[in-house]
Chain A
Amino acid sequence: MPKEIGRREVQRLLDDGGQLVEVLPREEYEEEHLPGAVNIPLRSIDGEAPHRLDPSRPVIVYCWDSA
């Protein structure tokens, strides 16, 4: 079950090799995103995630907010 985390936990996981994924559309990602994040829009996850993400490392997903 995916675990909900806050900002400090994100920073800790990134220090430990976590992979940050913005799931918003490409245009929003290109405007602005968190440092080091890759963009895999929600609709592209099935096709892209297996090739672009390392399953042996933590994955942190985010969008704009909790809404």
Chain B
Amino acid sequence: MSPRAAWRLESLGFTEVYDYVAGKQDWLAAGLPREGEIAGLPRAADIARSDVPTCRLDERVGKVRERVHEAGWEECVVVNDERIVLGLLRAEELGEARDDEVVEDVMRPGPSTFRPHVHVEEMARFMSRHDLDSSPVTTSDGVLVGMLLRKDAEAAAHRLHQQFGAEHEQG
């Protein structure tokens, strides 16, 4: 649709016309600001925990495990220097791998991630249906935003339901 609009504008005399082809989906997936009636509804990025521990591919598991547990977490996101998500170390890997093993050899590569603009209710439903306790949230470029916990998504969805339910009763 936008290419046709761009061409039409040009034919109407607009001399500097650009087409943002990736569009609204790309903008929202990057977690950028938005306006509108539903812009204020909580999204994955709003409740994702940005303090999730991260580690590099070449680190030793022993050191990573220590750091993760000290931070009060049981999992760790494997990222590169640009914070692009490359893998995950869940509690299972952190618990079973030897101290001297390298993260790259024991991580779960290419984990599924979710975009920042996904509504919390949708996330809560998906995580429940697929029995997911947590999932990284990344921009469309793959940059880590944070870790979304299922319990946070369910609590946020519950609050939202209560809020809208109350407004509906008042209306």
1/0 per residue, CB under 8 A from B, across A46-57: the answer is 100110010101
Within 8 A of B (CB), among A28-52: 29-37, 40, 42, 45-46, 49-50
A36 CA / B32 CA spacing, docked (Å): 13
Least CB separation from B15: chain A residue: A55
* A31 contacts across to B, CB distance below 8 A: 36-38
How many A-B contacts at CB < 8 Å in the complex?
137
Least distance between B85 CB and chain A CB atoms (Å): 19
Least CB separation from B16: chain A residue: A58
* A50 contacts across to B, CB distance below 8 A: 12-13
- B20 proximal to A (CB < 8 A): yes
* A42 contacts across to B, CB distance below 8 A: 1, 4-5, 8
- B163 proximal to A (CB < 8 A): no
Query: Across the interface, do B20 and A32 meet the contact criterion of CB distance under 8 Å?
Result: no
Q: With A65-B26, A66-B23 in contact, is A59–B18 under 8 Å at CB?
A: yes
Q: Which of B12, B17, B35 contacts A61 (CB 8 A)?
A: B17
* A49 contacts across to B, CB distance below 8 A: 8-9, 12, 14
Q: Which of A30, A53, A63 contacts B24 (CB 8 A)?
A: A63
Q: Which of A34, A53, A64 contacts B34 (CB 8 A)?
A: A34
Query: Across the interface, do B18 and A7 meet the contact criterion of CB distance under 8 Å?
Result: no
- B21 proximal to A (CB < 8 A): yes
1/0 per residue, CB under 8 A from B, across A1-22: the answer is 1111111011001000010011
Least distance between A3 CB and chain B CB atoms (Å): 5
* B24 contacts across to A, CB distance below 8 A: 22, 24, 32-34, 62-65
Query: Across the interface, do B25 and A65 meet the contact criterion of CB distance under 8 Å?
Result: yes
Least distance between B35 CB and chain A CB atoms (Å): 5
